[in-house]
Amino acid sequence: MPAALLASGLTKVYGELVALAPLDLAIKDGERVVMVGSNGSGKTTFMRMVAGLLEPSGGAAGVAGEPAGSINARAALSYLPDEPVLYDDLSLAEHLEYVARLHEAEEWQPRAAYLVDRLGLSHRVDDLPAQFSRGLRQKTSIALALIRPFEVLVVDEPFVGLDAPGRSALLELLDQAAEDGATVVVASHSVEFVDRASRCVALRDGELVHDGPASQADVLRLVS
Amino acid sequence: MSASADPATVALAELTQARRRRRVAQIDAFEGLYRAYLTFFVGGLAVLLLSNLAGGTKVSPATLDQVRRHGPAAIGLAVAFFMAIGLRSGGRGGPLALDKADVRHVLLAPVDRSVALRRPAVHQLRFAALTGVGVGAVSGLNASHRLSGAVVGWIAAGAVTGLLAVVGAMGVALVASGRRLPRPVAGLLALVVLGWAGADLATGRTTSPFTLLGGLALWPLAVHPVDLLGAGVVLALPVVGLAGVGGTSLEASELRARLVGALRFAATLQDVRTVLVLRRQLSQERPRPRPWLRIRGWKPAQVTPRPGTGGLAVDTLGRGPVKGWPPVAAIIRRSLQGLARWPVQRLGRLVLLSVGGGLAATVVWRGTTAMVVVVGLCAFLAALDAIEPLSQDADHPDRVFAVPRPPGQVRLALLVGPVVAMVVLGFVAIGAAILAGAPPLLALQVGAPLTLPVAVLACGGAAVSTLLGPSSMGSGSSLLLPPETAGIAVAFRAAGPPALTIVGVLPLLAGRSASVMGQSAGAAVARTAVFPLLTLGVLVFAFIRFREELRVFMEEAKQGAAGRKTAADGK
C-alpha cells in the first residue's frame, strides 16, 4: 500500500533562502502526526507543497500514491490552511453546500448539520462568514475542510483564534477523523495535539531535526 | 510665517518644507528629464488619438439647432454627474488621500487640522484642475470638428468648463467631508443634483447652475453672460470646502490613507482586479447579508443531527480515479447565489453602465463611430463586476486548486451566471436607447442579436484580465526591453481584454451602414454578430478552460530547454 503522504528530496528555495532543505518523509495510512517547529521552520511550506499549492524547487511529493496537486491527490487530501479562505458573497450554509457538492460528497447534509452544531455555528448559518470574527472564520474553515470526503487531512495551525470550546471541538473532530481511518497531520506551535499524535516531526530552518514519538516536553525543547 | 503662529503650526510648516526639499534633492536630473520625455511622448500620443474621436464632418443645421437647444442641459447633466460623484466621495470622507504617517502623527498632534489639511487639499485641487483643463480642452477640440465656430474658442470653452466641473466636484466633496455629511444624506443630495439637472434636460428649461455651466461650454455657438452665474456658484464650492476642511473625520482619513496608497500602487501595476477590490473597500461596498432573492438551498433545520449520521466522509479505500466534469449545476448555483447578494451600489453602477452603453450606442448610430469604444468599455467595466464569483476564486487559488478537477472547468462554469446577468443588462441598454429616441423596433432588431455575443466577449475579456493579473513589467525578460517597447507590450496586455468587448460592439457599424443603404439593419447585425463573434467567444472561453494546462506546458518546456542548455554547456 502506498504511503498516505510521501516526500522524496522535497525542496523549496526562494533565491538564496532555503525554505525547505531536501526532505525525505513517509507518513503511513492512518497515522496521526504532529509537525512542530518555530516560525520559518518550513512547516507551512511543506504543507502547501503536499496540497499542490506550491511547486517544489526539487524532489517530489505524493498523496496516496498520486503526485501532489494532481486531480486524484486533490480528491484524497483536505487541507485546512492557517488563514481562513472564504468567499465574500456566500453564507455559511451556502459555503458548506458548495464545497460538499463540488467534491461530490454523498450524504453530506447530516454531516453539515453535525459540524455546524459541534462547532457552535448553528445560529450563524445564514450569515456571511467573510464578515465573521477571526475565531468564527476559523471554525467555518474547519467545517469546510471536514464537509468534503478525504483520506488525508493536513491542518496548519488550526488552534489560532479559537476559544476553549472551539479548541475542544476541533480536537474531538481530529480524533474522529483519525478513528474513521484518515491520516491526520497537524502543524502547530501549541502542544495540545501532541499527546494524541503517534509521531512527531520537527523542522528547524527548513531541515528535519526529529522524527519519532515525542512528549510535550520534547516538543517544547524542539520548538524553542 | 507670522510671529504669532503657535509652535506646533510652525513645526508642521518646517516639516513640510524639509520633506519637500528632500524629495526635490532625491530627484536625479537625468531621470527627471527622462520622465518628462515619457510624459510628453505618452501625452502627445493620447492627444493625437483623442483629438480626432468625433470625426470630421460638420453636423447638419437641424442637429446644430438641437445642440443649441439641448446642449447646455446635456452638458449640465454630465457636470451634475461629477458633482454627484463628489458628494458620494465626500460622504465617505473623501477626497483627501493623506500619508498614513500624516494621519497618525500630524492629525493626532495639537495642530489646527484646518491648517494641516489645507495644504494637501490645495495640492489635490491643483492637480484636479490641471486634469480638468486637459480633458476639457481635448473635448473642445473634438467639438470644433463637428460644430461651427473658431477652434481656439472651443478649446478655451472646453478647458474652462472642464476646470470648473472638476474643481466644483472636488469642492463639493470637501464641503461634504468637512461638514461630515452622513452617507445617506450625501447620497440623497447626489440624487437631487442629478434629478435637478435631468429635469432641466427633460423640460428644456434652465433652472440649475449646472445647465448654466453647460451653456458656458457652448459659448462658441452663443454667448449668454448669465452662464457666468453657474461658474460663480461652482467656484464657490472649493472656497467653502477649504474653509471647513478641518472637520474631516479622522477615522475616514485613516481608512482612506490605508486603501488609497494600495489602490495607487495597484493602478501603477495595472492590476485591474486589485483596483476593483480596493475601490469597493474604499466605498464600503459589501455583499448583502440578506440576498435579494433567496435561492433554495441547504438549511441545518432540515436535518437534525442524529447519532451515527455525523461521521466524517473518510474514504480510506479510495474512490477510484476522478473523471468527467465537476458538478456544473452546483457551480452555476454558487454564481447565482453570489449575484443575488450584489449590493445596491453595484446594481446601480451596472444599471448606469448599461444606460451609458445604450446612450453611447445611439450616438454611434447617429454617426460618431468612435463611440463604439465607449459602448465596449461600458460593457467591459460591467463585466468586471459581473464575474465576481470567478474573480474570488482567482483571488484565493487555494479553493479552486483544492477541487479535484481542472481549474478551467470550474472557472468556465462560474461564467454562466455572469453571462446571463450581462444579457439582462444588454436589454437595459436597449431600453435606454429607446428612451433616448431610438425607434423601439429598430433598437430591438439591432440590439437583441448583440446582447449574447457582447455578454460572452465582455465576460471572457474580464475573466482573461482577472486571470492574467498585473503585467510583469520590471521583471524577467521585460527588463531587457527598452521602455517604449516594454510599454507597448504592457499597453497591449492591458488593452487586449477591453478590446475584445469593443470588437463585440462592431456589428453596430454594419447595421448602421445597412440602414444607410436602405437594407435591413437587424439582419446585418445578426449576420456579423452571431457566428463570427460567438466563434471568437468560444476561443476566449477555450483559453480560460485550458489556461492552467498551457501554463504548466510552457513551464515544463522552459525547464526542459534550460536542462538541455545545461547539458550542452557541460559537454
pLDDT by residue (tens digit) across B208-235? 999 999 999 999 988 899 999 989 999 9
How far is B531 from B456, CA to CA, in rounded Å? 13
Res. B2 pLDDT band, cuts 50 70 90? very low
pLDDT at B272 over 70: yes
Q: Which residues of A touch B304 (CB under 8 A)?
A: 113
- Is the Cβ pair B318, A130 closer than 8 Å? no
Q: How far is CA B284 from CA B281, B287, B343, B389, in A?
A: 5, 10, 10, 19
DSSP conformation class of B104: I
Residue type, B379: A
Mean pLDDT throughout B547-552?
86
A/B interface, count of CB pairs below 8 Å: 150
Please, what is the angle between helix A134-147 and helix A164-179, to 10°? 10
Residue type, A170: L
Cβ neighbours of residue B221 under 8 Å, at least 6 residues apart?
A: B64, B67, B68, B71, B147, B148, B149
Q: What is the pTM of this model?
A: 0.76
Q: Which chain A residue is nearest to residue B338, measuring alpha carbons?
A: A89
Q: Sign of torsion, CA B243 B248 B250 B252?
A: negative
E strands present in B150-228: none
- The confidence score (pLDDT) of residue B551 equals 85
Mean pLDDT score across all residues of chain B: 84
- Is the Cβ pair A108, B313 closer than 8 Å? yes
SS3 (DSSP) at B283: coil
Mean pLDDT throughout B19-48?
76
- H-state helical runs in chain A: 43-50, 71-76, 92-102, 108-118, 134-147, 164-179, 216-223
How far is A161 from B19, CA to CA, in rounded Å? 41
Mean pLDDT throughout B469-493?
63
| Lookup result for grid cell 526591453 | B481
Query: How many CB atoms neighbour CB B277 within 10 A?
Result: 21
User: Shortest Cα distance from A207 to chain B (angstroms)?
Assistant: 25
β-strand pairing of A32-36 with A183-187: parallel
Closest in A97, A103, A176 to B312, CB measured: A176
Mean pLDDT throughout B286-313?
71
pLDDT at B453 over 50: yes
CB-based contact B526:B449 (threshold 8 Å):
yes
- Is the Cβ pair A117, B287 closer than 8 Å? no
How far is B222 from A130, CA to CA, in rounded Å? 57
- Is the Cβ pair A113, B322 closer than 8 Å? no
- Is the Cβ pair B297, A94 closer than 8 Å? yes
- Is the Cβ pair A102, B410 closer than 8 Å? yes
> Which is nearest to B256 in space by CA: B177, B170, B367?
B177
How far is B294 from B302, CA to CA, in rounded Å? 16
Q: Which residues of A touch B399 (CB under 8 A)?
A: 85, 87
Q: Sign of torsion, CA A61 A65 A71 A72?
A: negative
Low-confidence ranges of chain A (pLDDT < 50): none
Of B446 and B534, the structure prediction assigns the larger pLDDT to: B446
Query: How many CB atoms neighbour CB B268 within 10 A?
Result: 10
- Is the Cβ pair B313, A110 closer than 8 Å? no
Of B323 and A197, the structure prediction assigns the larger pLDDT to: A197
Mean pLDDT throughout B72-96?
91
- The confidence score (pLDDT) of residue B476 equals 53
Of B267 and A8, the structure prediction assigns the larger pLDDT to: A8
Please, what is the angle between helix B344-365 and helix B507-516, to 10°? 40
pLDDT in tens, B503-521: 999 999 999 999 988 888 8
- The confidence score (pLDDT) of residue B317 equals 43
Chosen from B314, B336, B403 to mutate, greatest number of chain A CBs within 10 A: B314
ipTM of the complex: 0.77
Of B311 and A80, the structure prediction assigns the larger pLDDT to: A80
- The confidence score (pLDDT) of residue B274 equals 81
DSSP conformation class of B314: B
Question: Can you count the helices (H) and strands (E) in chain B?
Answer: 22, 0
Q: Which residues of A touch B316 (CB under 8 A)?
A: 29-30, 151, 180-182
Chosen from B276, B316, B401 to mutate, greatest number of chain A CBs within 10 A: B316
- The confidence score (pLDDT) of residue B157 equals 94
- H-state helical runs in B51-99: 61-91
- The confidence score (pLDDT) of residue B63 equals 80
pLDDT at B309 over 50: no
Of A171 and B561, the structure prediction assigns the larger pLDDT to: A171
- Is the Cβ pair A128, B289 closer than 8 Å? yes
Q: Which chain A residue is nearest to residue B295, measuring alpha carbons?
A: A94
Q: Sign of torsion, CA A138 A140 A142 A144?
A: negative
Residue A66: phi, psi to the nearest 5? -115, 150
| Lookup result for grid cell 492637480 | B127
Q: What's the burial of B26, exposed, middle or buried (CB within 10 Å: 0-12/13-18/19+)?
A: exposed
DSSP conformation class of B290: S
pLDDT at B54 over 70: no
- The confidence score (pLDDT) of residue B304 equals 54
- The confidence score (pLDDT) of residue B487 equals 67
Chosen from B278, B312, B315, B345 to mutate, greatest number of chain A CBs within 10 A: B312
Q: How far is CA B300 from CA B20, B101, B150, B255, B500, in A?
A: 61, 48, 73, 38, 44
User: Shortest Cα distance from A66 to chain B (angstroms)?
Assistant: 10
Q: Which residues of A touch B286 (CB under 8 A)?
A: 88, 131
pLDDT at B59 over 90: no
Partnered with residue A32 across adjacent β-strands are A184
Of B315 and B378, the structure prediction assigns the larger pLDDT to: B378
